[in-house]
Structure 1
Amino acid sequence: MVCLGRRCSALRALAGTQGRVAELQRAVGSTRGAVLVTADCLGSCALAAVAGVAHRDGATGQAGLTVWLTGVHEEGRADALADWIRSGGPEPAAEPDVGLPVALVEAVAGLGRPPRVARRGA
């Protein structure tokens, strides 16, 4: 889940990383079973640009625990996030921060349940 709210978008623009959302979309699109969910605002503006990543079970479609990352507008973190997704992201049946790239370790804001997402038009 990637926040596209005003503050997160402005931070990406200031950092010159606004194109990283499209890069993340390509990474998700090229990763089997990956799904990108965007939100207008996640309400975590004090944490800078935020993203949540979870492993989704292929058989059930259920998402596991989510690792919430902050500062993903920063170039090193944005690149590391896209690379991690391309390599498969969180391992199945593990805490979602296990195997996290070094560039994202200090970005961890916490672990939690995946957000409940209503489909558009539902």
Structure 2
Amino acid sequence: MDIILSNANPDPIYAQIADQIRSQIVGGVLKEGTLLPSIRVLAKELRISVITTKRAYDELEKEGYIQTIAAKGSYVASRNHEQIKEEYLRKIEEHMRAIMLLANFLELKEEELGMMYELLKRGDE
């Protein structure tokens, strides 16, 4: 499991860990039923506090991405792909609302926003 932490990232360390594990689960890198490193092992590998790692795992468990079984460890939980898709659609809607507020403030037209999107999309190819 690859996790890269950055001090330049404004997000707290536990959030960086949770985000990266979440992305690996949603992206299919970590499959359903996969055993995750123990909290202690991951903390040691990342050279961070066990408390920080536990907080990341607790967040993922609360969101339903992982499940922890006492004395056995934490596993990638089975999730409905439609449920995951709905979560991401909600996130896109939140970002779009923020974009709309900024665009209205700057009095940007829909065509200008569309052009920005197309330029960004081409840049990622």
Which TM bucket (shorter chain)? Answer: under 0.3
Rg (Cα) greater in structure: 2
Q: TM-score, normalised by structure 1?
A: 0.23
Structure with higher strand content: 1
Greater percentage in helix: 2
TM-score by length of 2: 0.22
